[in-house]
Structure 1
Amino acid sequence: MSFPPEYVAPSWGRIWTIGLTLASAMSAYGSEALTLSPVSVTSHYDNAIGTSDAASEGSVTSTLIANRPTLRTGEILEFVPGMIVSQHSGDGKANQYYLRGFNLDHGTDFATYVDEMPVNMRSHAHGQGYTDLNFLIPELVQSIHYRKGPYYAEEGDFSSAGSAHLQLANTLPQGVASMSTGENTYRRYLLANSMAAGNGQLLYGLEINRNDGPWDSPENLRKVNGVLRYSEGDAANGFNVTAMAYHNHWNATDQIPARAVSSGLISRYGAIDTTDGGESSRYSLSYGLHRRNQQGAFEMNAYIVQSKLDLYSNFSYFLNDPVNGDQFNQREQRRMAGLNVSQSWFSTWAGRDVQNKLGMQTRYDRLSPVGLYNTVARQRLATIREDQVKEASIGLFAENTTQWLPKFRSVAGVRYDSYAFDVESSIQGNSGTAHDAVVSPKLSLIFGPWANTEYFVNIGKGFHSNDARGTTQTQLPNGGGATSAVTPLVNTRGMELGLRTEVIRGLQSSLAVWRLDNASELVFVGDAGETEASRASKRVGVEWNNHYIANDWLLLDMDLAATHARFTEHDAAGDYIPGAINQVASLGATVTRLGNWSGAIQLRHFGPRPLLEDNSVRSDATTIAYLRVGYKVDAKTRLTLDIFNLFNRKNSDIDYYYASRLQGEALSGVDDVHFHPVEPRTARLTLTYNF
């Protein structure tokens, strides 16, 4: 692999040294050596003692979201401690996600919601659980509530590693008009505001974005987002109606073979197939209602979504078709509808405070069609398969929270999920129906606080669904022979021990030791550009998260995570899980209201990964830094300079190892590392006017 020899990734020893140095500085507050005056953490986080049921659960507020730079929209999920968001294709495609030793591909095993609308797409043309957040306008996000592990009764499909609930704002403190410009023809325009309308508030937002990126083949990204939201009421009683619209098209530079770069055939930012790319759209209408009184709380969310995707990719170049090449088109048209309802009751049992909660979650997806086609330069040559898919599910859950003692409470829950699949396939023998159901018990025990420290024990069972097309298959595409149907719902089991402490004023620190067992892993198959079910696996890990507000203008963050991931069913090929990250570190400082100045610096590191089951080929580690400097020109105007990849590291966003064939190579192809480079140092300047 031809990565620069001059870069050596920081070892865990160096990371821990930095972390302990920060921790030492934090613990010294109040001494003569440190003159900062710590304040409450709640302006950026809502993670105080007594607000969560696990050490790994928490919330981030819009204040913090607004003060940190993000290269891509999907990086908003990096506010979840331990999460890494990258890309291996054009920026109109869903990101790659890493968390708790998972290469989550485009979202499998991490559930994401915007206003309780599921973002994960099941039975998707490109990948199960496909999570594309490009329809989101970050400035309109009010909060992010994150959870990890299968310990929560209201969390269902795809949530075994974790979940994130992004809540949109009902109102803005003031209108915002901004214009951003940067290298490689980057342009972004934003207009958003809220105003009184009838008995409520009307919020609108419009985003226009274009970008060519650093790629030799310009990305030519053209994105438009629009939001219109009407709301009435307050945090206790109210409702909202939200319409969202998104359209995007782009050219893609996918992962490239290391040998093509080392030989000089292409540059680090070049492409083998310059016709890769895609077009995507998403339109939604949602309704949210909440009612709360002394007896209980009622919540309801309903949504309808229509989306389309046309994606052209070529990962193996000329391996399967030496004449036309291996480009393929994944296309789908989807209509999705869902309803979530829950009712809570507050009462006392034998003098103990009790909350009982019942809920129902339904969802229906219709894909008409979802297809895979052979193409050359985006022109269709043949149909590999084309399917009509109907997938319906219902989830029922019950949860009891009891305050047994002043410093001990329990949260016990159970969840039942039932799925129905209906597939009409172009491949004879692959049409049919399937059904499956799963019961998932959960239990959390919370002790304390003692000395401003709370302790947690969490166990639970979860699941993720598999692609509907696999549940009815009997034949592989392209005459690949007979095959067996996959298990529709795959079980997971997890446990966690943790603590959260505020023993130092201004510092919120949490520590979690966890384990997650997965009944079936997902492994990337490079020559097909997709994933397949594989062996069972086990992951164990530790996470240490720290948020310290030194005073009213300085916030320090340090999040560290280490994971050990292995297949539990032995195979001669090896027991390492390809793509499983073993180290994640994020260190940051955010400055606000320092006179007219503000800023942030964020360093993120994710460690090397095995690329083969026997660990004979590994990726390099990736460490990059982002910098933001802001200046308030006057009461309504400010300038912000963002610099991404501050030290211009030549790392990669993602690495795979598989066989591909370039023109002139042997027909059997060459096994090689295929990587997508991080973007080089890039600067963007934003002018913002509030009205």
Structure 2
Amino acid sequence: MHESKPNREARSGDLASVSSHRQWPFNLALQAISLAALSNSAVAQTPTPEVPITQLEPIVVQGNYNNSIGSSDAASQGTVTAKLIENRPTLRPAEVLEFVPGVIVSQHSGDGKANQYYLRGFNLDHGTDFATFVDAMPVNMPTHAHGHGYSDLNWLIPELVDRINYRKGPYYAEEGDFASAGAAHIRLVDTLPKGIGSITFGENGYRRGLLANSGAVGDGQLLYALESGHNDGPWDNPENFRRLNGVLRYSFGDAQTRSVITAMGYSAQWSSTDQIPKRAVDRGLIGRFGALDPTDGGETSRYSLSYDLTHKLDDGSFKFSAYAVQSRLNLFSNFTFFLENPVDLDPTVANGDQFEQAERRKVVGLNTSRSWNTSFEGREVINTLGAQVRHDRLDPVGLYSNVARQRVSTTQESRVRETSVGVYGENATQWLPWLRSVAGLRFDRFAFDVDSSIPQNSGKKNDSIASPKLSLIIGPWSKTEYFANYGYGYHSNDARGATAKVAAKDPTVAVQAVDPLVRSKGGELGLRTELVPGLQSSLALWHLKLDSELLFVGDAGETEPNRASKRYGIEWNNHYVVRPWLLFDLDLAASRARFSEDDPDPTVGNHIPGAVNRVASLGVTVTDLGPWFGQFQLRYFGPRPLIEDNSVRSSATTLAYLRVGYKVGTDVKLALDVFNLFDRKASDIDYYYPSRLQGEPAGGVDDIHFHPVEPRSLRLTLTANF
């Protein structure tokens, strides 16, 4: 699913009332975790499903990866550990997802808004078709004010990430909604070896402070972290981004039964410089870092309480997790400037096209699974049954016309109830010493209930879908393992689009309701080898088809049906330990994305706007070279079609990050991070659509609208462990 600018943004709740409600849910969460910590009920956490494997002597790659032979079901599956995450500089928290080979993370607005994601021929917008989880809590937000599948990770503290388990493709029974292109499961640490106190200063008013530690409390371990930050950015209109973030995490139990209770709270406010038309810069109306509407920006908050249990049994394991999330967003954007609301009769007054996307959301859910280790005619077998339930309650989710963040009218406002139930079964069998299979079947049921301010668009809709999966793992021979994967998946669609009958901006115009669930199917052939000492290398050939490349029109509050699509590509990933202190990473990916159906208008082409076709990443990591450590990261994502006939394309973007660190003492270190090392003038993202500046024709002008990458900037971090 892709979103066409100016059509992709969304906002939540009444701005004036956000701060007054910001604290109470987190206070309740703290009370709940305190009560839970005092009770000694045995509870714990959910690791990746077990799979029978042939035991081999693994290659240990400096603790950075866990991708050895026998550790996965596909060439494109793997794990990144905290060791590598610690060494690489990140401009924004969500860039931890770039540890997933082939993923690119960018931004087209303020730092408080969810990032843009690219993978496998997708412009994933803010998360559609890539599922993200933090400790079994889903990050993607369905029927979101800004965009379906919205994945905001700005509340993540990278220093608390223990590992990232990633999977690509619809081959895994455990993965449901949004996971057609892939999924990332981020696991937080339960304890810290030492406390962390760090402070960062950078250019453009960047400041960040972090205090974190863990220690024994009662029969368990209590971890706490508090983070605050500020950033103005390079923008002519300072961003004034302010964030406050807190984590409390209590873990208890033993090796047999392990439980974790986690409370999180996050709030942020910012002004934003959104994408700007190229012609405005060419004419000298604004600079590359200028804004045409300085009142754009937003405010958001997120509070959560979660519980994870892992219980090991003689014949397998039992896993259970539950979570509750409360979030709010008010987002103010203006992508077309004066196209819909031109200068009034009084030329000194210009309302402009600013709109607000707003939502207040509560989410509750649970995941549970039971696995049995058995045998069949002497063959090792693991059977797993699982269930996942999620309920989202939006009160309300809306789209409003604004002037300087003041509402002047309501385009549409809805109260939405969305419930999903997924059940799955999986069988993993070691047929021969060199042949293993993983077969799964998943069934999902969704129920939508929409109460819209436009009566015709209210209604209820139910839908269900079944998704079979199959993986074959062959080998290893000569330290090389081979994979064949195929599976069916899906993504849900915005509940409002599933019940809509008329256009939100013009109720006299009938619209076609979209399918609540859209089928995807894909396959992959791959291999992973450790034939060269110290080198882990994987190669994957993949393809993926979607029954509909649906389009969310954020500033119209609608979901439009689009054509079916197909994608295929190749990925080559390499992790090489040259010396105990020196690690090389090289990840290359190429893909082709097209609509698989012709448009009724023969002049419209089959290219998918925004689809990335080439991605490359090169990393050089130095650890413990005496007192020195550091990392160099080069990432490239290639030019993209911006219109279906491919007549307008973006340029490629190449960026380099550098970290140079020095250990002053046993527990004190300094690190200098340099972002955009070569000071490239490039775009984080480009769109092509009509907008109107003052004095231009009433129909507007088609143009490239871009959000520039930030210029070279430096950040210095002092970290003390205690």
Pairwise TM-score range, normalised by the shorter structure = over 0.9
Q: For the Cα contact (< 8 Å) 1:527–1:660, is it kept in 2?
A: no
- What are the within-5 Å matches in structure 2 for residues 348-497 of structure 1? 348-480=375-507, 481-497=509-525
Pairing partner for 1:229 from 246, 249, 266? 249
Amino acid at match of 1:211: N
Q: For the Cα contact (< 8 Å) 1:315–1:526, is it kept in 2?
A: no
The residue that corresponds to 1:541 in the other structure is 569
Q: For the Cα contact (< 8 Å) 2:203–2:715, is it kept in 1?
A: yes
**What SS does the corresponding residue of 1:64 show, helix, strand or coil?**
helix
**What SS does the corresponding residue of 1:674 show, helix, strand or coil?**
strand
Q: For the Cα contact (< 8 Å) 2:62–2:577, is it kept in 1?
A: no
Distance 1:657 1:193 in 2: 47
The residue that corresponds to 2:547 in the other structure is 519
Distance 1:567 1:474 in 2: 26
**What SS does the corresponding residue of 1:619 show, helix, strand or coil?**
coil
The residue that corresponds to 2:527 in the other structure is 499
How far residue 525 of structure 1 moved from its aligned partner, in angstroms, is 5.5
How far residue 375 of structure 1 moved from its aligned partner, in angstroms, is 0.1
Q: Could you tell me the percent identity over the aligned residues?
A: 66
Distance 2:461 2:421 in 1: 15
Q: For the Cα contact (< 8 Å) 2:202–2:714, is it kept in 1?
A: yes
Amino acid at match of 2:408: L
How far residue 294 of structure 1 moved from its aligned partner, in angstroms, is 3.1
Task: Kindly indicate whether structure 1 or structure 2 has the higher relative contact order, using CA contacts under 8 Å at least 6 residues apart.
Answer: 2
The residue that corresponds to 1:325 in the other structure is 352
Amino acid at match of 2:689: Y
How far residue 530 of structure 1 moved from its aligned partner, in angstroms, is 7.7
Deviates more, 1:520-529 or 1:121-130: 520-529
Distance 1:661 1:234 in 2: 63
Pairing partner for 1:550 from 563, 578, 591? 578
1:610 equivalenced with 2:638 (yes/no): no
Indicate how the Cα distance of structure 1 residues 115 and 567 shifts in structure 2: closer, same or farther if over 3 A, else same: same
How far residue 292 of structure 1 moved from its aligned partner, in angstroms, is 1.2
CA offsets, 1:78-97, max 9 Å, x none?
A: 00000000000000000000
Amino acid at match of 2:221: Q
Indicate how the Cα distance of structure 1 residues 527 and 361 shifts in structure 2: closer, same or farther if over 3 A, else same: closer
Indicate how the Cα distance of structure 1 residues 114 and 437 shifts in structure 2: closer, same or farther if over 3 A, else same: same
Distance 2:511 2:572 in 1: 44
Distance 1:259 1:644 in 2: 27
How far residue 478 of structure 1 moved from its aligned partner, in angstroms, is 2.1
Q: For the Cα contact (< 8 Å) 2:637–2:654, is it kept in 1?
A: yes
The residue that corresponds to 1:169 in the other structure is 189
The residue that corresponds to 2:630 in the other structure is 599
1:267 equivalenced with 2:319 (yes/no): no
How far residue 550 of structure 1 moved from its aligned partner, in angstroms, is 1.5
How far residue 482 of structure 1 moved from its aligned partner, in angstroms, is 0.8
Q: For the Cα contact (< 8 Å) 2:505–2:556, is it kept in 1?
A: no
Deviates more, 1:286-295 or 1:412-421: 286-295
**What SS does the corresponding residue of 1:648 show, helix, strand or coil?**
coil
Distance 1:631 1:674 in 2: 41
The residue that corresponds to 1:286 in the other structure is 306
Distance 1:173 1:595 in 2: 21
CA offsets, 1:455-484, max 9 Å, x none?
A: 000000000000000111111112251112
Distance 1:290 1:239 in 2: 7
User: How high is the TM-score relative to the length of structure 2?
Assistant: 0.90
Amino acid at match of 2:537: S
Distance 1:237 1:508 in 2: 34
Q: For the Cα contact (< 8 Å) 2:497–2:560, is it kept in 1?
A: no
1:690 equivalenced with 2:717 (yes/no): no
The residue that corresponds to 1:95 in the other structure is 115
Distance 2:422 2:62 in 1: 34
Distance 1:255 1:137 in 2: 27
CA offsets, 1:90-147, max 9 Å, x none?
A: 0000000000000000000000000000000000000000000011111001000000
How far residue 234 of structure 1 moved from its aligned partner, in angstroms, is 4.9
Q: For the Cα contact (< 8 Å) 1:315–1:529, is it kept in 2?
A: no
Distance 1:84 1:529 in 2: 27
Distance 1:162 1:310 in 2: 29
How far residue 526 of structure 1 moved from its aligned partner, in angstroms, is 8.8
CA offsets, 1:599-618, max 9 Å, x none?
A: 00000000000000000000
Distance 1:133 1:364 in 2: 20
**What SS does the corresponding residue of 1:471 show, helix, strand or coil?**
helix
Q: Which runs of 5 or more structure 2 residues have no equivalent in the other structure?
A: 1-57, 344-350
Indicate how the Cα distance of structure 1 residues 639 and 153 shifts in structure 2: closer, same or farther if over 3 A, else same: same
Distance 2:139 2:216 in 1: 30
Amino acid at match of 2:515: T
1:626 equivalenced with 2:626 (yes/no): no
How far residue 434 of structure 1 moved from its aligned partner, in angstroms, is 0.2
How far residue 485 of structure 1 moved from its aligned partner, in angstroms, is 1.1
Deviates more, 1:121-130 or 1:532-541: 532-541
Q: For the Cα contact (< 8 Å) 2:535–2:575, is it kept in 1?
A: yes
- What are the within-5 Å matches in structure 2 for residues 143-162 of structure 1? 143-162=163-182
Deviates more, 1:341-350 or 1:38-47: 38-47
- What are the within-5 Å matches in structure 2 for residues 187-266 of structure 1? 187-234=207-254, 236-266=256-286
Q: For the Cα contact (< 8 Å) 2:497–2:558, is it kept in 1?
A: no
- What are the within-5 Å matches in structure 2 for residues 38-57 of structure 1? 40-41=60-61, 43-57=63-77
Amino acid at match of 1:494: G
CA offsets, 1:607-666, max 9 Å, x none?
A: 000000000000000001000000000011100000000000000000000000001111
Q: Which runs of 5 or more structure 1 residues have no equivalent in the other structure?
A: 1-37
Amino acid at match of 2:666: A
Q: For the Cα contact (< 8 Å) 1:436–1:489, is it kept in 2?
A: yes
Distance 2:416 2:551 in 1: 24
Amino acid at match of 1:546: N
Distance 2:467 2:234 in 1: 46
CA offsets, 1:478-511, max 9 Å, x none?
A: 2251112110000000000000000111111000
The residue that corresponds to 1:643 in the other structure is 674
Amino acid at match of 1:447: I
How far residue 317 of structure 1 moved from its aligned partner, in angstroms, is 0.3
Q: For the Cα contact (< 8 Å) 2:521–2:546, is it kept in 1?
A: yes
Distance 1:658 1:69 in 2: 34
The residue that corresponds to 1:12 in the other structure is none
Runs of 4+ in 1 over 2 A off after TM superposition: 233-237, 522-533
The residue that corresponds to 2:367 in the other structure is 340
Q: For the Cα contact (< 8 Å) 1:180–1:189, is it kept in 2?
A: yes
Distance 1:402 1:352 in 2: 7
**What SS does the corresponding residue of 2:665 show, helix, strand or coil?**
coil
Q: For the Cα contact (< 8 Å) 2:221–2:252, is it kept in 1?
A: yes
How far residue 153 of structure 1 moved from its aligned partner, in angstroms, is 0.1
Distance 1:152 1:305 in 2: 26
Amino acid at match of 2:227: E
Amino acid at match of 1:314: N
Distance 2:82 2:60 in 1: 16
Pairing partner for 1:83 from 85, 103, 121? 103
The residue that corresponds to 1:9 in the other structure is none
Amino acid at match of 1:358: L
User: How high is the TM-score relative to the length of structure 1?
Assistant: 0.94
Indicate how the Cα distance of structure 1 residues 677 and 422 shifts in structure 2: closer, same or farther if over 3 A, else same: same
CA RMSD across the alignment: 1.2
Indicate how the Cα distance of structure 1 residues 427 and 527 shifts in structure 2: closer, same or farther if over 3 A, else same: closer
Distance 1:380 1:680 in 2: 34
